[in-house]
Amino acid sequence: MPRRLGASLRVVAATVVLVVSLGAGTAVAVPPPPPNPSDDQLDSTRAKANAQATQVGRLTNQVAQAEARLMELQADVELKMEDANKALVDLQTAQGEAAQAKADAEAAKAAADSASQAIDDAREDLDEFAAGSYRQGSTIGSMSAYLGAKSPEDLLARAELLNAVAGSELDVLDDLEVARTDKANKDSAARAALDLANEKEAQAQSAKEAADAATAAARQAQQDGAAQAQRIEAQKASAESQLIAAQSAVSGLESQRKRYQDWLAAKQREDALKAQQAAESAGGGGGGRPVAAPSSGSARSVINRALSQLGVPYAWGGGNAYGPTRGIRDGGVADMYGDYNKIGFDCSGLMIYAFAAAGYRLPHYSGYQAHAGRRVPLSQKAPGDMLFWASGGRIHHVALYIGNGQMVEAPHSGARVRIASVRYGGIVPYATRML
């Protein structure tokens, strides 16, 4: 028989056998079983897996500690940057008060100088009047006044008039003396206010310099910790790689045993799966987790306004009631990220923009924002409340709670406005409610 014809007949025969088998309703042939490892092999693999799991656990703890340290460093940087924010606000306020006090002092001095000049002029007129009276032995001009009189009554009237003029000069002089004293007192009070304003300005300037120094220290700490952060990331990557390796080792022969057992119970599992699928198809799907709604229309407006800025860059010092603005220099970490060249928000700037939707004007400092409304226990937080984080008892970050354990925030330099799960590490035990 030719080779090609024999091969064709074998294919036909095999096809006939397969069709007959399927058509007769007999069981489909089970594939060959997978390898079945022995109990000794399984025990050895488990021992190695346990040892590897111990190693992975140790590395996992190191990663957790490293991440906690990174969070502490980040909180410290944010705290110092917020100190700089506060110092800048206080300095601007003090400078405004000093400028107003200086203007008041200059106005009071000008008024006092004017009063003194008027007194000098009146006194000069009075001296001239007295000298003339002395030279004529009577009231100045009395001889010419009397010579022109037409009757005794006219003469008497002119004498009274001249005496009245002399008396009015003295009265005016007294009034001007009182005015000069009053102006001088106001001038003194204005200068005292100016001295106080200058003192406040000097104190605010000192606070700003201290904040700048703290920011510089934060930048130095950030630079010093850069190598450490890289090592932490490398350790984390190594831990994750070793974790994968450990999981592979654990699955090793046990996975083979499981596949062998699955092979033995293939028919039973297939029937159970079909029954389960049938039940699921008959039962339908389940529900989803509802999204929490804000407690009021104002809260909804505030949240929607904040969410409208998702993806906007973080910029230290950026943001006002009208939207994102160019960041400012801090002489430290923000400058390293070029925040002064970005249009965006910092954490407190985002709150200013969000709450402007409800007509609120918040200061550009999270420490002041924490006192801007009513405090409620953290467990009673509601959508639209502000959440705060502190280090050493001092607030350094703020975010807006939007419900379902989530918040919207401008996190830190190099990041963007985002939605995140509420972080409870370092969070203060209250929320601030404005609405």
Question: Which sequence positions are flagged as catalytic?
Answer: 347, 397, 409
Q: Are 73 and 222 in contact (CB under 8 A)?
A: yes
Residues in CB range of 272: below 8 A, 6 or more apart: none
Percent helix / strand / coil, the chain, rounded to 5: 65, 10, 25
Write out the DSSP string of 138-156: SSTTHHHHHHT-SSHHHHH
| Token pair of 123 as six digits | 């006194």
Beta-carbon-side half-sphere exposure of residue 58 (alpha carbons within 13 Å): 5
The Cα 302–Cα 435 span in angstroms is 9
- Separation between Cα atoms, residue 235 and residue 70, nearest integer Å: 13
And the tokens for 38? 């022995």
Is the Cβ–Cβ distance between 294 and 300 less than 8 Å? yes
Residues 6+ positions from 210 with CB-CB distance below 8 Å: 87
Q: Rounded CA gap, 385 and 404, in Å? A: 13
- State the alpha helices, DSSP H only, in 284-421: 297-307, 333-336, 347-355, 366-369
Please calculate the CA angle 244-250-256 and round it to the nearest 5 degrees. 120
Separation between Cα atoms, residue 44 and residue 390, nearest integer Å: 50
Q: How many CA atoms lie within 13 A of 352 on its CB side?
A: 22
Q: Nearest to residue 94, comparing CAs of 208, 210, 190, 212? A: 208
